[in-house]
């Protein structure tokens, strides 16, 4: 998680430096065209317009936010699914059945849909159906 945050900060810094350099080049090109030097103006016409870069940046931003939201929704949907937990106890002949949300399930315990916290003893066997 920490690595993802550092990578995001690095990408933002590179983008800011790129835009700063691009603005400086644009100011120099405008300064050269006002002095009457036609050579930079011919070179500038071969470059794509800034609006093309903005459109691509906005499109990339929309795609990233959309895909992130879709993946978050899929994860939430998976975590909100119900699973059945069957506890087999040593002294009991019949097992006990519980309904649990998937994100509430832990290694040695769980919280049921009703809000009851159940801790599984080492002598009990837990069977999970629906994973």
State whether 68 and 94 are in the same domain: no
Q: Cα separation of 74 and 65, whole Å?
A: 14
Q: Is the pLDDT of residue 41 over 70?
A: no
State whether 125 and 69 are in the same domain: no
Indicate if the alpha-carbon torsion angle 25, 30, 34, 36 is positive or negative: positive
State whether 65 and 6 are in the same domain: yes
Question: Could you read off the pLDDT of 91-125 as tens digits, one per residue?
Answer: 888 999 999 999 999 888 999 999 999 999 888 88
Quick one: pLDDT at residue 50?
Answer: 66
Quick one: pLDDT at residue 3?
Answer: 75
State whether 11 and 70 are in the same domain: yes
State whether 89 and 124 are in the same domain: yes
Q: How many domains does the chain have?
A: 2
Domain that holds residue 113: 82-129
* CB-based contacts of 110, cutoff 8 Å, min separation 6: 85, 98, 100, 104, 117, 118, 120
Average pLDDT, the chain: 84
State whether 12 and 72 are in the same domain: yes
Give the residue with greater pLDDT, 105 vs 1: 105
State whether 55 and 8 are in the same domain: yes
Quick one: pLDDT at residue 102?
Answer: 93
Q: What one-character DSSP code corresponds to residue 62?
A: H
Tokens of 85: 């937990």
Quick one: pLDDT at residue 46?
Answer: 58
């Amino acid at each position: 998680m920490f690595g993802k945050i550092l990578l995001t900060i690095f990408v933002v810094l590179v983008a800011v430096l790129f835009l700063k350099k691009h603005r400086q080049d644009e100011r120099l090109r405008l300064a050269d065209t006002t002095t009457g030097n036609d050579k930079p103006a011919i070179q500038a016409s071969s470059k794509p317009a800034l609006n093309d870069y903005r459109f691509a940046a906005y499109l990339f931003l929309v795609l990233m936010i959309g895909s992130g939201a879709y993946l978050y929704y899929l994860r939430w949907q998976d975590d909100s699914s119900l699973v059945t937990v069957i506890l087999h106890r040593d002294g009991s002949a019949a097992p006990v059945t519980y309904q649990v949300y998937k994100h509430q399930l832990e290694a040695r315990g769980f919280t049921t849909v009703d809000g009851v916290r159940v801790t599984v003893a080492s002598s009990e066997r837990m069977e999970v159906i629906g994973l």
